[in-house]
Structures are given as C-alpha cells and as structure tokens.
Amino acid sequence: MARIVVLDTSTIIALIGTKGADDVRRFTREHVVAALKEKSRFVVPTPVVAELHYGGALGSEEVERLIKALGAGARIVGVNRAAANAAGQMRADAIARHRKEHADVRGAVIYDALIAGVAVQQNAAAIFTANRRDFESQLRVIDSKIDVVDTSRPPKGQAELFEGEGPTGKPKRPPKKR
C-alpha cells in the first residue's frame, strides 16, 4: 500500500507560489521529490484549498495543475465525519490553550485541525508543513502517530550540509556576548 502524505497550505504555496525564501521553496520541493521517489500518494485537504482562496495566494487552476503534476495518486479530499470528529477534539484542546490570543489564531487553529483531521481520516503517514509545532501539538491530543515533516528544513540526510544555518538556510547569528 502506498504511503499517504498530506500537504498543508504552506507546502502548496512553497511548491507553486513565489512567496517565501528561495531555500524554503527548494527544501519543500526536495521533500516532495523524495516522497515521489518512495511512491507516496499526495492528499490536499479541502481546507487547504479554502485557505489558498481566502488568502488569495493561489487560484483553482494552479492547485489543479499541481495535483496533476504530483501524479496519478494525488487528489483533493474533503472532510468526512471521522475527520470532523478528530478535528473537533484537536480544536477544543488548542482553543483552550490559546484562549487569550487573537481571533486570527483561532481561525488558523480551525483550519489546521481540519487538515490534521483529514490526515487521520486518510491514515496518512505524514503531513508536510512549515507549521510543524502546531500540527504536532494538535495530533498529540488524539494520540496520533502521523509524522509531521517540517518542509522549511532540509530533508533527512541533507541537514548536515546546512549545519550552523538558520531555518531559511542563512547562517545563524552568534549569540550576543553579555
């Protein structure tokens, strides 16, 4: 059975958008190419499509072109009852932890919970995202073992090539002397 990888909004934008650092876009492509070589199938949850339209980042035609480029197994998947149940559990926990934060954070939590819910529904092996911390904390709520891959960092085996570099591939600044 093919490994299923769910693509988050940040990953789609890095793959076909022009925003963001060049090295982040390159690392994202390297993660996707490695997954393609492993014969992974890609899933784009419908909440990702909604986020892309909401932010004006990409249009429907660009998303459809990407789906075709990702191969025959790639598809857009909607939220079913199992995904909604998982998302509701994750959202309730996240909102309780972020009660005092701005409403935009709450909106992002809803989208992320729905995306993670689709990953659970699809029995995904991984979620590719530049938003690793939030997805990991949400998936912990339901004790999910889905691997959350930070596509803004070099793929495994390449990290040593970028040692001493920050998340954008630029050299880290030395700590300030006190």
Of 32-41, 90-99, 145-154, minimum mean pLDDT range: 90-99
CA distances from 46 to 6, 52, 166 (A): 11, 10, 32
CATH number, position 92: 3.40.50.1010
Give the total number of structural domains in the chain: 1
- pLDDT for 40-99, tens place per residue? 999 999 999 888 877 566 677 788 888 888 887 899 999 989 888 888 888 777 666 655
Half-sphere exposure of 10 (CA within 13 A, CB side): 22
Of 167, 74, 64, 97, nearest to 113 by C-alpha is: 97
Range of the domain at 71: 4-153
The reply to whether 129 falls in a domain is yes
- pTM of the predicted model, to two decimals? 0.79
